[in-house]
């Protein structure tokens, strides 16, 4: 019976228990013989009483029964008690095995939770770093957007200012052109009047190279005697006239040289000047008013009924050249003052050597053109005084008056076109940057939404505390890899 019970106990034991029982060495005999000292021949009655008390405390029937004060061993009861004790022992062993299995499961679950917790902490750190990087990128994009907006605002202000300057210059140029046209018409009318008066005076016979007498008497008829008599006087008068004419030409050349030297000095002074103050602007305005007054004073004699001689025409020509040079000078000074106002803090910078050489070359060319212009004006004026005024000469005269203004208008228009092209390029670049910024902001919002979605999914997954199988673990690993790849994108 004992052998049968031990075999049943071994069959009901768990595999781990069987493994431990097979691995563990057999217990020594002393360990089984320890309980042999419990009952001896001397203490049989006490042992029987103790066993009955213990069985009664465990709610088992006693194994000895009293019959006429004789204690008899009840074998059936003893075997039943032993069987019940064995069943209790098996249940206790089974419960112990289940508790050990539960403990192993709980320890494995705890280890898995520790691993998942560490992995989630790493993911949280990575997400925080990525969030900080995205915030920094957003801040940089916002600063770049603000700078681009400020640049656009400055460009708009510059365009408005340049448009105002161009409009004011256009009105000034139109006013100057109209004034020049009026002057040209008055000069043309005066020349026509002089030519008509000269033609009317030349209708009769006229003696060329007439040499009058010193006493004022009428000359005699040209005969051999008179011709031989007055030949020396004629040569003397001719020589005197040629000398006077040569002196006048020399004086005229000296005056023209002085005018050119003065123009050269003023050009050098204008180019060397760095910054114009408000006093110089007031002086330029006063000089403009004085030039206008001189123009009006010079135009008044043109309206007079007297004839205009060559000397008077030369004086008019030199005065007109000086006036035009003053206007050019004041215009250059005004442009310099405007350029100095446009510059923020770089007004004290020196002009580069290459720019200075280019400007001097250009001014030399302008001086040469002015010289040629003076010569052509003298020739045209002499032709107008000697011959009739036809349409071709009038057209040339008109072109000579308007040439400088046309060149200046062409130059201003070219500068305006360059500024307009630069503004178009800047506007196109700004629009492209704004579009690019919008696309980047949209991509950033999409990435942030995906990141928040995956973060929410990961947090809900981590809250599950039940033990999971190997398949769920692989699924979580794939999910984590997908989340890290999305964050890296």
DSSP H/E element including 65:
strand 64-66
Is residue 312 one of the residues assigned to a domain?
Answer: no
Beta strands 64-66 and 71-73: pairing type?
Answer: antiparallel
Within 10 Å of residue 393's Cβ, how many Cβ atoms? 15
Burial (CB count <10 Å: 0-12, 13-18, 19+), residue 276: buried
Burial (CB count <10 Å: 0-12, 13-18, 19+), residue 391: exposed
Here the tokens at position 213 are: 């007498």
Is residue 23 one of the residues assigned to a domain?
Answer: yes
Give the residue numbers spanning the domain of 101.
Answer: 2-114
Q: Which region holds residue 13: left if phi is over 0, alpha if psi is between -120 and 50, else beta?
A: beta
CA dihedral 44, 50, 56, 57 (to 10 degrees): -160
What b/e sequence results for 214-232 when a residue is b if at least 16 CB atoms lie within 10 Å of its CB, and e otherwise? eeeeeeeeeeeeeeeebee
Here the tokens at position 422 are: 């630069």
| Three-state DSSP class for residue 73 | strand
What are phi and psi for residue 71, nearest 5 degrees? Answer: -95, 120
Q: Say which residue the tokens 């915030």 belong to.
A: 135
Under 8 Å between Cβ of 413 and 166: no
Report the domain count for the chain.
1
Is residue 362 one of the residues assigned to a domain?
Answer: no
Q: Say which residue the tokens 């008055």 belong to.
A: 186
Distance CA 422, CA 158 (A): 12
Residue 130 neighbours by CB under 8 Å, 6+ apart: 451, 487
Is residue 101 one of the residues assigned to a domain?
Answer: yes
Here the tokens at position 153 are: 């605002």
Strand partners for 64: 73
Strand partners for 66: 71
Is residue 242 one of the residues assigned to a domain?
Answer: no
Here the tokens at position 366 are: 């302008």
In Å, how far are 313, 352, 400 from 309, measured between CA atoms? 6, 48, 21
| Three-state DSSP class for residue 248 | helix
Is residue 200 one of the residues assigned to a domain?
Answer: no
Spell out, as residue ranges, where the chain has pLDDT lower than 70.
Answer: 1-36, 64-75, 198-232, 267-314, 316-318, 336-353, 384-402, 459-489
Q: How many residues does the chain have?
A: 489
Distance CA 299, CA 183 (A): 8
Distance CA 109, CA 105 (A): 6
Residue 377 neighbours by CB under 8 Å, 6+ apart: 317, 400
In Å, how far are 44, 63, 78, 105 from 81, measured between CA atoms? 19, 8, 5, 36
Give the residue ranges of DSSP H helices in 230-352: 231-272, 278-302, 310-342
> CA 312, 317, 320 angle in degrees (round to 5)?
125
Under 8 Å between Cβ of 312 and 191: no
Is residue 43 one of the residues assigned to a domain?
Answer: yes
Here the tokens at position 339 are: 């350029």
Half-sphere exposure of 128 (CA within 13 A, CB side): 6
DSSP H/E element including 433:
helix 391-462
Is residue 105 one of the residues assigned to a domain?
Answer: yes
Half-sphere exposure of 281 (CA within 13 A, CB side): 11
Give the residue ranges of DSSP H helices in 202-230: 224-229
């Amino acid at each position: 019976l004992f052998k049968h019970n031990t075999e049943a106990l071994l069959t009901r034991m768990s595999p781990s228990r069987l493994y431990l029982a097979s691995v563990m060495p057999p217990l020594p005999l002393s360990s089984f013989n320890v309980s042999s000292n419990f009952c001896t021949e001397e203490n049989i009655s006490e042992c029987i009483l103790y066993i009955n008390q213990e069985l009664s405390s465990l709610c088992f029937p006693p194994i000895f029964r009293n019959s006429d004060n004789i204690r008899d061993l009840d074998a059936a009861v003893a075997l039943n008690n032993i069987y019940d004790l064995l069943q209790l022992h098996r249940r206790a062993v089974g419960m112990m095995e289940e508790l050990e299995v539960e403990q192993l499961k709980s320890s494995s679950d705890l280890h898995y939770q520790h691993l998942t917790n560490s992995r989630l902490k790493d993911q949280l750190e990575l997400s925080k770093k990525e969030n900080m990087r995205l915030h920094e990128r957003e801040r940089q994009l916002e600063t770049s957007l603000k700078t681009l907006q400020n640049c656009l605002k400055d460009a708009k202000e510059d365009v408005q200012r340049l448009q105002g300057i161009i409009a004011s210059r256009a009105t000034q140029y139109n006013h100057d052109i109209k004034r020049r046209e009026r002057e040209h018409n008055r000069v043309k009318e005066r020349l026509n009047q002089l030519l008509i008066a000269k033609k009317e005076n030349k209708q009769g016979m006229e003696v060329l190279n007439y040499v009058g007498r010193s006493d004022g008497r009428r000359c005699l008829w040209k005969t051999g005697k008179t011709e031989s008599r007055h030949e020396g006087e004629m040569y003397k008068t001719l020589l005197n006239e040629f000398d006077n004419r040569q002196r006048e030409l020399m004086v005229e050349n000296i005056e023209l040289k002085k005018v050119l030297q003065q123009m050269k000095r003023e050009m050098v002074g204008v180019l060397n000047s760095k910054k114009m103050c408000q006093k110089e602007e007031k002086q330029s305005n006063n000089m403009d008013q004085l030039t206008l007054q001189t123009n009006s004073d010079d135009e008044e004699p043109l309206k007079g009924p007297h004839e205009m001689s060559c000397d008077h025409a030369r004086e008019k020509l030199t005065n007109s050249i000086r006036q035009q040079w003053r206007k050019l000078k004041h215009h250059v000074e005004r442009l310099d003052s405007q350029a100095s106002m446009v510059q923020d803090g770089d007004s004290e910078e020196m002009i580069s050597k290459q720019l200075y050489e280019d400007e001097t070359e250009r001014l030399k060319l302008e001086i040469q053109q002015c010289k040629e212009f003076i010569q052509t004006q003298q020739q045209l004026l002499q032709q107008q005084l000697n011959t009739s005024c036809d349409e071709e000469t009038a057209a040339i005269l008109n072109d000579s008056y308007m040439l400088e203004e046309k060149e200046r208008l062409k130059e201003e228009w070219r500068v305006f076109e360059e500024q307009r092209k630069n503004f178009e390029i800047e506007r196109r670049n700004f629009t492209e940057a704004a579009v690019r910024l919008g696309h980047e902001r949209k991509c950033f919002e999409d990435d942030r939404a995906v990141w928040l979605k995956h973060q929410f999914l990961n947090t809900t997954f981590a809250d599950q505390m039940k033990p999971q199988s190997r398949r769920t673990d692989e699924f979580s690993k794939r999910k984590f890899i997908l989340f890290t790849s999305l964050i890296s994108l």
